[in-house]
Structure formats: C-alpha cells, structure tokens
Amino acid sequence: MSRLAEGSELDGFRIGALLHAGAMARIYAVTYADGRASPFPMVMKVPLMRDGDGSENIVGFEIEHQLLQVLHGAHVPRFVAAGDLSRVPYLVMEYLGGQTLEKWMESFTDVRQPIPLDAIIDIGARLAQAVHNLHQQNACHLDLKPANVMISEHERVVLLDFGLSCHSDYPDLLAEEMRKAVGSPAWIAPEQIVGMRGDPRSDVFAIGVMLYEMVTGELPFGAPTTNGGLRQRLWMSPRPPRAWRSEVPEWLQEVILRCLESQAEQRYPSAAHLMFDLRNPEQVRITARGQQSRGRGFWWHAKRWLRAAGLHYEPSPLPTQQIAEVPIVMVAVPNNDVSDVAMYALRQAVARSLGTRPGARLAVVTVVNTGITASTQSSHSDTWLHRHHLASFKKWALGLDLSEHQVSFHVLEASDVAQALLRYAEGNQVSLIIMGAATHGLSMQRFVATVPIKVAMHAPCTVILVKDTMPFERLADASSN
C-alpha cells in the first residue's frame, strides 16, 4: 500500500511522522484522533503487502496480531488495536524509546572500538531474561536478531516483531503454509533450517549468535544466501571467540559456544539457565569448548557432515507442543544452629525433587545474617566465613546424585535473610525453592513471621518447606507468575 499521509486519520488514529521504513513494514507515530490521551506513546506498524509478495507477509501479520493480544509483561510492547486485513492491515502498539541492539552495536563499529565485555555480558543476561519470560508464556520468537531487540530508554530489553513466532495454544500458521526454512539467515537455528519449529532452544541459539557477534565483530556462520550455505551450521563449528579476541575469558567462550551447538539438546535447556551462567561466571563449568584457541579440524567436521546429511524436513506438531520447562531449583541451606537430622532431611527433599526434574539446575544458597554479631562470626574474617560455608555445603551435596544436573554454591550477605532469598529467586528465575521449616508446626508458624514463612508467602514460585521430623513434606505452594 502507499505511504500514509502525516495528519491523516485511520480508524480513529491520527497518523504522525514516519519513524521507520523497512523492507517489510513502515512504522508511524500515532495518537487518538479525538484528542484522548493515551497512557503511553503509540506507534502504528503497517506491513508492506505488494503484488507478487509471497504469503509470508500475510501470515506474519496474522501471527503477530494474534500473539500481541495474549503476550504481556515488561519484555513485549503493549497491544492497542489492529486493522482489518481486507482493508488496511496495521497494528497499533506501545512506542518504545531507545535504540535497537543493532544500532547499539553499530555505535561501537562507527568508532572502531570493540564492545566492552562487561557491557556484552549485561546485555546478554537481560536478553536471556526477556526470552525466558516469553518462553514462560508458551511462545517461541524464532526470529531473534539485533534489529528485533530494543533497549529502551530505561534499559529495559523488549522483544519486537513476532511475525515468525509460534505459541503452544494456537495453530502454527507458518508450519501449515510453508515447507521451507523461515527466519533470518545469520541467526536461524539448525533445526529451523530443516523445518522444525517450536523449540525454545532455537531462541537460545540466536542469543548465542548475537553474543558471538558482539564479542568478535563477526557472525559465527556468516550471512548465507543459499540453502547449502544455511545447512552448513548443521555440522560446522564456528571459530572460537578467543581466536578473534584473546581477552575473552574461557567461561564466556564456554557459554557462547554452548549456545551455538548444532544439536539443540547440547545447548542450554532454557534461557534462564543461560542467564544464570552470565550472572554467575565463577560457577561456569569450563570444558574443552571454553579452552579452544583454534577451530576444529577436517575429520571432526567430516563426521558431523555425514551425520547432518540425513536430516530433512519434519512438520511441526499442530498445535505446537507445550514448552517444557527445565527448572532452576534453589535450596536455602542454614549456616548455623542446625542439626544433622535437619540437614539430612533437607538433602533427601532435594534428592526427591531433582529425581522428578531431569536436567534441572541446583543452586545451593545460604545467607550470612549481617545483623547478627555472634562470637563465632566476629572472630573470623568475611573471606574465611565464605570459604568455610562453601566447603561445608559442597560436602553436604556429596550425598546427592548430580550426574544429570549442574550445581552451583552461593553465599549471600544481608540483614534481612528472607528478602535476600526472595531477591535471589526472582533475579535468577528460580522455579522451586526448598528450605527447612521450624519444628514447632505449621499452625504456630502462620502467626510467626519466620524466614521460611516470609519466603513461602511472597515467593514468585513454588516453595517446599521441610521439617526435620520427617524426610519430605510439602507445606507451601505459591503459584509461579
């Protein structure tokens, strides 16, 4: 359709300035034509549907219209209205000030400076959090790239352009219409190339591509223009980031290359796990991936090529299968005045919970109460206390079968123990909290503001309280988000 005239009216909206003219759509500032105030600035996105275009544009418009109405939260733009596809198709949504990740990256390229690693890690963690929030709403983006990530004026990371996305509650229109890979060539995941859609780990792959590009200034698989070029990522391993930039720490290379594994099951099981490692680098388990300084050899790639040669299109299930969450389990371990029986009961509860959650990550957390100045604490330095607690908790965890689970240990300091645990759980997208309960019974605890009860009352996830008189008892269950 032709460009909308500034000052014209469309379905009760006053068209303002043209903010962006892309290959797929135009973006206009809009206000209500009757002078009503909007609670937030608005934009109108008008898709370009020209004669000769494929059906992708129409299907993409329908998908984005569908999803924007059901997605919510700080990491997606708020939906306002939509136009009729048979007349003038458009979407009106929240306007987000700031700049895209693409523009942010270009600001460093323009001055020929590498992006500081601390800034990359921070952006990566916040992007992973935004993507995990989307996955928790049973949606996969499937077209993540720097141009579709907005860094708002308040440093909020917001995801844009859901035209290639899918949601478990709705038919996957693209899977019905297309029999070829759809996505942006530089960022599309290997499984998408052979027609598999709906795996949240495809979005983890795209985050890995963006992390790689920010760190090295290069794309890990280039920008292919042919199907053969696209399929190379089914078997090729990218050049290690440390070969481009020597100051990249091994742990960060480990994280990036794990995201870029060609087989989805070898990547992070969720964006929350990726965010956890970016925010806790000292806990990253470094393998040969992180230590590489040069690319893989010919025979290694030849074996992978033979395995990838048989992969072909497989239709996505309709509707897309429910997105399975691989949780982060947090156990809050007391660090003083606790019996061996209580510690045993806590370990048994953790073992049972991990046994029913394959692949879950375990975070062992304790809080040193800085408001208590007991003689046993005041006689030692803070460093000694941290090392002492970490050593004792690692010994405590030896009784757990962690062969299929990652585990990390954390000593926090706070004057309010409950608030420290709650902040940790919320900040790290914890799905389950396990902690000890006082032995005088739940009925009394309802009237006493103990740490376990405070956590159970305000936690953003399920909480299991364990009494030392029994090995496992579910006493509180706060629904997550």
Give span(s): CATH 1.10.510.10, the chain.
98-308
Determine how many CB atoms are found less than 10 A away from the CB of residue 42. 21
Q: Judge contact between 463 and 476, C-beta under 8 A.
A: yes
Give span(s): CATH 3.30.200.20, the chain.
9-94
Residues of the chain predicted below pLDDT 70: 1-2, 50-56, 175-181, 296-325, 371-382, 438-449, 468-481
Those residues with Cβ within 8 angstroms of residue 151's Cβ, 6 or more apart along the chain or in another chain: 98, 99, 100, 101, 104, 123, 157
Residues 407-416 pLDDT 10s: 888 888 888 8
Give span(s): CATH 3.40.50.620, the chain.
328-466
Residues 192-222 pLDDT 10s: 888 788 889 999 999 999 999 999 999 999 8
Those residues with Cβ within 8 angstroms of residue 84's Cβ, 6 or more apart along the chain or in another chain: none
The CATH number of the structural domain formed by 98-308 is 1.10.510.10
Q: Pick the closest to residue 100 from 63, 148, 64 (CA basis).
A: 148
Integer Cα distance of 173 and 166 in angstroms = 8
The CATH number of the structural domain formed by 328-466 is 3.40.50.620
Q: Given this model, what pLDDT does residue 49 score?
A: 75
Sign of torsion over alpha carbons 394, 395, 398, 400: negative
Q: Given this model, what pLDDT does residue 303 score?
A: 65
pTM for the predicted model, two decimal places: 0.81
Domain 9-94 sits in CATH 3.30.200.20? yes
